[in-house]
Chain A
Amino acid sequence: MIATVISIIFIIAGLIFFIGGAVGLIRFPDFYTRTHAAGKGDTLSSLLVILGFAIYQLKDFESFSHDWLTLLVILKMLGISLFILITSPTSTHALMDAGWEDGTKPEIHPNRPNHLNDDCEKF
């Protein structure tokens, strides 16, 4: 019962952050700020949802000798979340770097610096 409630809280929190990421993806002005929304929102929300599933698996847990297959499922889910934690930021870099190399112009606030353009002089 407690495990079910905690898992529901985790999954709903994950869904709320997914909504935040989606709204940011639509509303932010240019490619780079949108990648912020996609890269960050997805990392935490997928982690929360998968952890919620893992906690939900614990609801019928009685003893180690009886339910060790459940433990294997939970370990698999933890492996998936670790994989997401490593790959999601890396793919965000790859996207942003490709965007810059391809000549996508970032929308910079008028009074703020763009040091990358100072050093590379792309635009």
Chain B
Amino acid sequence: MDDPHGTSTRMASPTTKHNLYRGVVFGLLFLTWMIFSGLFDAFHLTLGLISCGIITWMSADLLFEDRTIPLGRRFKQGIGLGSYCLWLLWQILLSNLHLFRLAFSPKEALQPHIVRYETKLKTDFEKYLLANSITLTPGTVTIKIMGDTFYIHAISDFAAKGLDGEMERRIARIFAQQQLEKPVEAQTT
């Protein structure tokens, strides 16, 4: 979940880095430790505390690259991502039904071709999310991303019709609504 706002916001507001990010990273790491170890005696918890502490100290900014964004906004983005994933699961189911039908139909049902798709999304994480979503929706796979152009392999005409930009709008909505709130927060701080 790195840098959903890009460098422009960083230049617009050269605010301090939020030190709470280290706390969040440490919490996530320690939660993972507890789930995967399953042992809650003092010895193993201490081991976990030490190793999570060292990892947080060394690489806290790997997970969240832009640490000037307030945590509340990150939290809202996380919730938006969660609901988006639920919608994506439904799309994956449709995609597999489509593939299942194609696998058992004659070869004339396939019209493989490669189309361009221009995107307005800016940051790497948004583009990554869009490319993965395109791959998981019916009959389309992203082959290449060059700048703002996606090259998409569509397996049939039906699949190419699905690229109407609805996914892009959903992704833009997750990250755009926070930018509207930005001036208000800038005044209060």
A44: chain B residues at CB < 8 Å are 92-93, 95-96
Q: How many residues of A contact B (CB 8 A)?
A: 48
* Set A37, A43, A79, A92: member contacting B103, Cβ < 8 A: A37
- Whether a CB of chain A sits under 8 angstroms from the CB of B45 is no
- Whether A20 pairs with B96 at a CB distance below 8 angstroms is yes
Q: How far is the CA of A106 from the CA of B153 in the complex (A)?
A: 10
Segment at the B interface, from A4-12, A56-64, A111-119: A111-119
Q: Is the CB of A115 within 8 A of B155?
A: no
Taking CB atoms, residues of chain A closer than 8 Å to B135 are: 39-40, 89, 92-93
With A32-B153, A96-B153 as known contacts, state yes or no: A115 contacts B96, CB within 8 Å: no
Q: Say yes or no: B103 contacts A116, CB within 8 Å.
A: no
A-B contact count (CB 8 A): 121
Question: Once the chains bind, are A28 and B110 in contact (CB under 8 Å)?
Answer: yes
B112-156 toward A: CB 8 Å interface, digit per residue (1/0)? 111110000000000000011001100101111010010101010
Do A92 and B99 have beta carbons less than 8 Å apart? no
Determine whether A97 belongs to the interface, using a CB cutoff of 8 Å to chain B. Answer: yes
Chain A residues near B (Cβ < 8 Å): 16-17, 20-21, 23-24, 27-30, 32-33, 35-37, 39-41, 43-45, 47, 69, 72, 75-76, 79, 85-86, 89-90, 92-93, 96-97, 100, 106-109, 111-117, 119
Give the 4 A-B CB pairs with smallest separation, nearest first.
Answer: A112-B113, A24-B103, A20-B100, A89-B135
